[in-house]
Structure 1
Amino acid sequence: MKKLNAAVLSGLVLIIGCAPASSHAQSSVTLYGAIDTAVGFVTNAGGSNSANRVGFINSNIQTTSWGLKGTEALGGNLRAVFNLQSAFNPSTGSLSESGVEFGEQAYVGLSSTDYGTLTFGRQFDPVTDVLEPLTGDIYFGSLFATVGDVDNYDALLHINNSIKYASPVLAGFQFEAMAALNGIAGSVSAGSFYSLGASYTNGGLSLAGGYTVSKVDNTTALVDGVASTTASTTADGLAYDNPIVQFENITSNEIGRIGGQYVFGPFIAGAAYSNSKFHQFDSGATLTFNSGSGFLHYALNSALSLAAGYSYTKATGEGASASYNQLSLASDYYLSKRTDIYLSAVYQRANGQTLDNLDNLVPATASVGDEGFYGTSREQALAVLGMRHRF
């Protein structure tokens, strides 16, 4: 029965997509997606030891996912829009994003060429919308991301229960705003998320910036006489309890980001800066990350492109003073418009001391990009050879 239902659904999608324009001139539904997988080698990836790792490392350039998106004309310049996007692990077929069916996006809304777009549901935040297209991440993904993705450089945040507005583009300017409510009884702000983003484009120059505030509702209760804390937030994928931000629970996170890129001939050059603060729940300790990055992308010809990126991150707070230097290199060769193979490598060096979950000063250890490989060394390197197909 499940196979039959899947076949029927696939048939309906094909019928909708292939029907004559005269029958569906006012609406459209598109099936889309990407599969990105690679074999990789990582040094110092054993967690409690310095063991190396060889295995599959997926979604390096682009998140492996499939989705359905569509529009319906409602008259005048007004359209209904929707997008459902589900991420999965191409090595096993299992769902990504903590098993959420549509973990990437799930929203519906209204769009007007005159007044902008208003959408409701699970969405990317405005800062991601305006800034990610200007970063090295858009070309070579997670291996160019900020250390630990502390500033959401790699777009790991997915905002539940959100309302987002995106303005039309006026003289090169556009702005977006978002508010998300967690639905906590007795408190509007508990677990909420707020964000503003703006961009400007003029010829080959593009600039963007924005600010996000994510609050966490931490509720402590006794379970069999033992205190247990439950954290709730609308910002799914908030970067903490990882090798770089070792706090298990936070009360809030604020991120400010600016960046830009310039296109000249076959070259694209970009730079970005961010400031991100994580506030520990139990102690109130604050760990602050200031990150600067730059990249250069070169299209050697219509099929082959090369890129190099560098990022520097400084962590401070409560006596901590750690620094992370990261160098990324990548090449991408297109076999066709939809299929490409890539080779990427990244090296990171950590120095100084950072905070663990108990606010103790501990040696900072390397963890490349936002891959999350725990190590005990100051250095870590990763190389991947992968393939991507888009549909």
Structure 2
Amino acid sequence: MKTLKLSSVAAALTCSAAFAQSPPPPPPPLQGPGPNAGPVQLYGAIDLSAVYVNNVKGGALRRIESGGNWPSRWGLRGREDLGDGLAAVFVIEQGFNADDGTIAQGGRAFGRQSFVGLSHAQYGTLTLGRQYDFAYAIPPDVVMIVGGLAAATGGIASDLHLGGVRYDNTVKYFGRYGPMQAGLMHGLGSENGQDKMNSALLGYREGSVNAALAYVRDNFSPVVPAAQGNQVLVASAQYYLNPKITLIGLVGESRAKLAADSRSRNRLVDFGLTWQVTTPFNLGFSVAQSDIKTATGADGRVRQFGVGGFYDFTRRTTLYAIGSSTRSEGAAGNAYSGVPGIGGTPATHSSSNRGQTVLKLGLRHFF
């Protein structure tokens, strides 16, 4: 049975400070290579940070960790022009731990993404393979309030999927229609008929407004009947106040959909802003609150405050410092920040009390 876990809440408490930096080179694609991509491109990111956590089971933690701001990865993406606006596209992407050189995503060769498809300039893109749902993999030109201070805990009931959840054996469509974007996704599940899913996206971008609404319904439960698991609804928006300041907001709810648990849920509100102080230096601030209910009906609350500073040596290389403070109440239990780079699960890396503070100093390079 899946029940609400504090790691799910930590995953939802994302920090918009991660987006304070100026736009890096095009990030690893979520919808396939762009129209100007070459036949095959090698791309990736290496991110390492020195991490300090004030309380892990009652003691301080100091370590060097991979992915403090941007998960380390490398990949290949390609595009072949087939004529009349049609192109073949593919992406294979592997995550790795830069601190020790091991492969992430459970050792899968291309565990982050692996898909192939067809893309048309007018009619959109259809892809098949291992792909993100739309709660995370919203288009790069639609608001993405994820990363920075949140960790992925995919598949846990009441997780809002903001840390990134991937599904095998999926069919995914994404298209742009003037200022609107739309997407549909269906996961056929594994060979035993489990793990099926559906996801949808509706986005809008015009002038200073950039917004998206994403839906996910999955089945991670091994019990019969199938069609049990999570239901997630997330709405996010950016408003460009001026060329230097961007306001960011997100609201979301996830609910367990199990025969034995239909009460667990997580409601999140997250607000922040990014500020380009100078051309190379940017700041970001975030405050988030998550109200939870467990399978037994007990209530809890988690609050997270975050701040980040980013200095861009170039568009590819950035020095960053990030700090976050997490406080928990009620059924949320002891605090757990879920920060990339904390290096463990709630069972091993939660605080001994209701508070936890994390500081990171790192270097990120895109290639």
Name the TM tier (shorter chain): 0.7 to 0.9
**C-alpha displacement at 1:302, in angstroms?**
1.5
Work out the CA distance in 2 between the residues paired with 1:327 and 1:144. Answer: 12
When residues 146 and 299 of structure 1 are mapped into structure 2, their CA distance, relative to the original with a 3 A threshold, is: farther
Decide whether the 8 Å contact of 1:57 with 1:384 is kept in 2. no
**C-alpha displacement at 1:370, in angstroms?**
4.8
When residues 196 and 370 of structure 1 are mapped into structure 2, their CA distance, relative to the original with a 3 A threshold, is: farther
Which of residues 38, 52, 64 in structure 2 aligns to 1:56?
64
Decide whether the 8 Å contact of 2:264 with 2:297 is kept in 1. no
Aligned residues: percent identity? 25
| Residue identity in the other structure for 2:322 | S
Work out the CA distance in 2 between the residues paired with 1:307 and 1:56. Answer: 23
**C-alpha displacement at 1:33, in angstroms?**
0.3
**C-alpha displacement at 1:184, in angstroms?**
4.0
> Which residue matches 1:306?
283
Work out the CA distance in 2 between the residues paired with 1:331 and 1:294. Answer: 17
Which of residues 335, 341, 344 in structure 1 aligns to 2:319?
341
| Residue identity in the other structure for 1:28 | P
> Which residue matches 2:92?
84
> Which residue matches 1:378?
354
Q: Secondary structure at the match of 1:98?
A: helix
| Runs of at least 5 residues in structure 2 that lack an aligned partner in the other structure | 1-35
Work out the CA distance in 2 between the residues paired with 1:77 and 1:292. Answer: 41
Which of 1 and 2 has greater Rg?
1
1:330-382 deviation per Cα after TM superposition (whole angstroms, max 9, x unaligned): 0000112211110000001101124xxxxxxxxx1211145443223100010
| Runs of at least 5 residues in structure 1 that lack an aligned partner in the other structure | 1-24, 221-231, 234-250, 355-363
| Residue identity in the other structure for 2:113 | Q
Query: TM-score by structure 1 length?
Result: 0.76
Which of residues 195, 206, 212 in structure 2 aligns to 1:191?
195
Which of residues 209, 212, 215 in structure 2 aligns to 1:208?
212
Decide whether the 8 Å contact of 1:280 with 1:286 is kept in 2. no
Q: Which has the larger share of helix?
A: 1
When residues 280 and 367 of structure 1 are mapped into structure 2, their CA distance, relative to the original with a 3 A threshold, is: farther
| Residue identity in the other structure for 1:37 | L
**C-alpha displacement at 1:216, in angstroms?**
2.3
Which of residues 242, 257, 264 in structure 2 aligns to 1:287?
264
Work out the CA distance in 1 between the residues paired with 2:174 and 2:300. Answer: 37
Aligned residue pairs, count: 319
Decide whether the 8 Å contact of 1:72 with 1:81 is kept in 2. yes
Task: Say whether 1:125 aligns with 2:148.
Answer: no
Work out the CA distance in 2 between the residues paired with 1:180 and 1:347. Answer: 36
Task: Say whether 1:142 aligns with 2:148.
Answer: yes
| Residue identity in the other structure for 1:152 | H
**C-alpha displacement at 1:66, in angstroms?**
0.4
When residues 334 and 65 of structure 1 are mapped into structure 2, their CA distance, relative to the original with a 3 A threshold, is: same
> Which residue matches 1:368?
337
> Which residue matches 1:316?
293
When residues 308 and 130 of structure 1 are mapped into structure 2, their CA distance, relative to the original with a 3 A threshold, is: same
When residues 26 and 304 of structure 1 are mapped into structure 2, their CA distance, relative to the original with a 3 A threshold, is: closer
1:99-145 deviation per Cα after TM superposition (whole angstroms, max 9, x unaligned): 111111100000001111000001111232327752443xxx23167
Higher relative contact order (CA 8 A, sep 6+): 2
> Which residue matches 1:269?
247
Residues 27-38 of structure 1 aligned to structure 2 (within 5 Å) = 28-38=39-49
Which of residues 303, 307, 327 in structure 1 aligns to 2:305?
327
Greater alpha carbon shift after TM alignment, 366-375 vs 334-343: 366-375
When residues 325 and 266 of structure 1 are mapped into structure 2, their CA distance, relative to the original with a 3 A threshold, is: same
1:211-241 deviation per Cα after TM superposition (whole angstroms, max 9, x unaligned): 1011024159xxxxxxxxxxx99xxxxxxxx
1:65-93 deviation per Cα after TM superposition (whole angstroms, max 9, x unaligned): 00000100111110000001100000010
